[in-house]
Structure 1
C-alpha cells in the first residue's frame, strides 16, 4: 500500500511541476515579445559592449516600429501611383496642379486666399473661445478646491479644540468632566432634532 500512495504522490508532483513550467514558459514568451524578440547574437552583444551607449530594448522596439511604418507608407504611395496610372497618365498631373494651384485662374486663387483668411480667423476665434472656456473651468475647479480646503481646515480646527477640551485634566490628573458632559448633551440634542 505504501508504494502505491508514494507513486500517486510522485505523479501529482510531476503534474504540478509541468503546469508551473507551462505558466513560466508563457510568461517568458510574453516578456520576450514585449522586449522585441529573442536574445542577441554574440556579435551584436560584443558590439553593444564596445560602444559607449547601453543596450536599450525600448529604443530597438521604436526603431522597428519606425521601419514598419515606413514600409506601410511606401506601400501606400505605390498603391496611389497604381491608381493614378489606371485612371490615366494626365489625371495625376491634374491632381498635382490642383494642389499647387498652377492650373487655376488668378480669380480662383484670390477666392481661395480669401477663404483661407476667413477660415484662419474663424479657427483663431474657435481657439480663443476654447481657451477661455478652459480657463473658466480651471478657475471653477480652483474655487471648488479652495472651498473644500477651507471647510477641511475649519472642521480640523473644531475637532482639535474639542479634543483639547475632552482631554483636559485637573492638577491631580483627573479628567475634567464639564466638557465631556457638554459634549454628551450636545450629541443627544442633535440626535433628537
Structure 2
C-alpha cells in the first residue's frame, strides 16, 4: 500500500542516484553537497519511520523499502568516499557483508517462517555509528579512525545479535 511514509521512503531511494550524480560531478565541493544529501536522506528516514508508527501506517512494502533505501544510500556513500580515499576499505567490506548476511537471513525467515523481521537496538546503533563514521571520514575530522573502528565493532555486534535471532528462529 502506498501511503505518505512509503512515498517519503521512495523519495529517499531516488536520492541515491541524486547523491551519485552530485558527488561525481560537483568537483571540489562534491563531498559537502553529497553529505548534505545524506543528511536529507537520514532526516527523511526518521520522519517516515515516525509517521508510519504514529499514524499506524506501517506496511509490508514500507518494511521492505525502508531498509533497502538505507542500505543503498549508505553503500553508495561509503563506496564513493572510499574511491576518493576518505573511507577505509575494511569497513566498506564489513558493512556490505553484514548487509548481505542480514538480507539473506531476513528473506529466509520471512519465507520459511512467515515472520516479520524488524530493526532492533543493535541495528539502529550500528546505523548511527556508520553515519558518524561516514561524516567524520568525509570531513576528515580528527579521530575519524577511532570512530570507524567503533562503527566496525558495533556492526559486528549487530550482526552477531542478528545471527542469534536467526538461529533461534530456525527449526532443527
TM-score w.r.t. the length of structure 2 is 0.23
TM-score w.r.t. the length of structure 1 is 0.20
Structure index of larger Rg: 1
